[in-house]
Structure 1
Amino acid sequence: MGVFAQQKETIYQFKVKDLYGREFDFAKLKGKKIMIVNTASKCGLTPQYEDLQELYDTYKSDNFIIIGFPANNFASQEPGTNEEIATFCKENYGVTFPMMSKISVKGDDMNAVYQFLTEKKQNGLKDSEVEWNFQKYLINEKGELEKVIAPRVLPTDPEIVNWIKS
Structure 2
Amino acid sequence: MSLHDIPLTTLDGRPTTLGDYAGRALLLVNVASRCGMTPQYAGLERLQERYGEQGLTVVGFPCNQFNGQEPGTNEEIAQFCASTYGVTFPMMDKVEVNGEGRHPLFDELTRAEDAEGTAGDVGWNFEKWVVGPDGDVVARFRSRVEPESAEVVAAIEGALPGPADATA
TM-score (norm 1): 0.88
Q: SS in structure 2 opposite 1:96?
A: coil
Match of 1:64 among 53, 56, 68: 56
Is 1:15 matched up with 2:7?
Answer: yes
State the alpha-carbon separation in 2 of the partners of residues 163 and 111 from structure 1.
24
In structure 2, stretches of 5+ residues that fail to align are: 159-168
Amino acid at match of 2:26: I
Q: Aligned runs of 1:132-143 on 2, under 5 Å?
A: 132-143=124-135
Aligned length: 154
State the alpha-carbon separation in 2 of the partners of residues 100 and 23 from structure 1.
10
Q: SS in structure 2 opposite 1:138?
A: strand
In structure 1, stretches of 5+ residues that fail to align are: 1-8
Is 1:153 matched up with 2:141?
Answer: no
Q: Aligned runs of 1:10-159 on 2, under 5 Å?
A: 10-119=2-111, 127-159=119-151
The structure with the greater share of residues assigned to helix is 1
Q: SS in structure 1 opposite 2:122?
A: coil
Check the 8 A contact 2:138/2:155 in 1, yes or no.
no
Check the 8 A contact 1:118/1:126 in 2, yes or no.
no
Percent pairwise identity: 38
Instruction: State the Cα distance separating 1:14 from its structure 2 match.
Output: 1.2
Which digits, 9 at most, give the CA deviation of each residue in 1:54-99, with x for residues without a partner? 1110000111111100000101100001011000000100000000
Q: SS in structure 2 opposite 1:65?
A: strand
Instruction: State the Cα distance separating 1:31 from its structure 2 match.
Output: 1.3
Q: SS in structure 2 opposite 1:160?
A: helix
Which digits, 9 at most, give the CA deviation of each residue in 1:3-52, with x for residues without a partner? xxxxxx43111121111001222112111111110000000000000000
State the alpha-carbon separation in 2 of the partners of residues 28 and 101 from structure 1.
16
Alpha-carbon RMSD: 1.4
State the alpha-carbon separation in 2 of the partners of residues 80 and 163 from structure 1.
32
Amino acid at match of 1:112: P
